[in-house]
Amino acid sequence: SEPPKPKRIKALDPNVVNKIAAGEIIVAPMHALKELIENSVDAGSTSIEVLVKEGGLKLLQITDNGHGIDREDLPILCERFTTSKLKEFEDLSSIGTYGFRGEALASISHIAHLTVTTKTAGSSCAWRAHYGEGKLVPAKPGQPAAPKATAGRGGTQITVEDLFYNVPTRRRAFRSASEEYAKILDVVGRYAVHCSGVAFSCRKHGDSGVSISTPSAANTIDRIRQIHGSAVANELVNFEVSDSKLGFRASGLTTNANYHVKKTAVLLFINHRAVESTAIKRAIEQTYSAFLPKGGHPFVYLDLEIEPNRVDVNVHPTKREVNFLNEDEIIEMVCDEIRSKLAQVDSSRTFLTQS
């Protein structure tokens, strides 16, 4: 008998492609929020307020006082690969910020209802626009899709409603709103520690108080105290190390040998973006094993700046992990510095108890 005929190959509908891409970038509400916070920080904001309903699945709203978005740019704001931060491929390796691919707002608009209200310093009013599938859409059926003039303060407010409303399998996979809210608090808390000069707040809709509230003038230790408590904040030592050949500069705050918890907490920023690194976490745990009782772990805030041309942020669509050159050497230098700081504190303590 004859072999079966192949089925014809056809291009997927662009909206299907965009929905798939969006689901790879925005896996949970925390990923949408991280992108939005980074945009607000990139816009030079000194105040960032977050409001959350049902773990971010019903509502994620972020209000900043940054430079705003020009009225003329609103029609293409949510198209894929539209950005004010990148022009050439080479820029990928040379720009300081790395929320640069113009994919975040586009992605969100494909899997949620998105509203943007924004005012620049040069505009006499604010403009409000609604988005769906990358394009401007009317607020209500029958109305024009064009941005509408409205009252508003300088800056941008982004409202994300009904995340994953058109991805029912993903939507159903979320079982607990409080679990998602905890992850959101983790993201906001990380940026609140890192971004000196920026006031952060995070509130759950319906709650009278705020979960996170950090004034803009707070220093890093105060920020850690507000978010992680005095037990951590009172036992911090600072460290700093750099090497021009390896093209990096690292600084941070790390707990001394008086403090330990069940799980290592690493607040890692590489070029001002919160990222994860199993290699760094493992090396830090290894370093502390000589100072802490068995099963005890540290809290570490590490601010790592690496020459952008040595960093590859394109290893993962969510940009959660990054690769950089001389990773092993850099990690070793950071851990050596932490080790010597811990040894200093340890010996001064021994000295104190002896005298």
Of residues 56 and 99, the one with the C-beta less far from Mg ion:
99
215 SS3 class: coil
Q: How far is the CB of 294 from ligand ADP (least distance, A)?
A: 44
Q: Cβ of residue 206: shortest distance to ligand ADP, in angstroms? A: 25
What residue 287 binds from Mg ion, ligand ADP, none (CB within 5 to 8 A, per partner kind)?
Answer: none
Question: CA 77, CA 84: separation in Å to the nearest integer?
Answer: 10
Pairs from 131-138 (Cβ < 8 Å, separation ≥ 24): 131/77, 131/78, 131/105, 133/15, 133/18, 133/109, 134/18, 134/78, 134/79, 134/80, 134/106, 134/109, 134/110, 135/78, 135/79, 135/109, 136/74, 136/75, 136/78
Residues 15-44 interacting with Mg ion (rule: CB under 5 A): 39
- 305: which strand partners? 249
Output 129 or 334, the one with its CB closest to ligand ADP: 129
* Pick 134 or 247: Cβ nearer Mg ion: 134
In the complex, the residues that contact ligand ADP under the rule CB under 6 A are: 35, 39-40, 43, 64, 66-69, 77, 83-85, 99-106, 156
Q: Measured between alpha carbons, how far is residue 312 from residues 35, 243, 246, 270, 324 in Å?
A: 18, 19, 15, 11, 6
- Closest residue by beta carbon to Mg ion: 99
Identity of the residue, 104 or 330, whose beta carbon is nearer to Mg ion in the bound complex: 104
Burial code of 204-232, b = ≥16 C-beta within 10 A, e = fewer? beeeeeebbbbeeebebbebbbbbbeeeb
- Closest to Mg ion by CB, 97 or 251: 97
State yes or no: residue 108 binds Mg ion (CB under 5 A). no
Binding Mg ion (rule: CB under 5 A), the pick from 55, 66, 99, 298 is 99
Site track 167-206 with Mg ion (rule: CB under 5 A), x = hit: ----------------------------------------
Q: Which positions lie near Mg ion, rule CB under 5 A?
A: 39, 99, 104
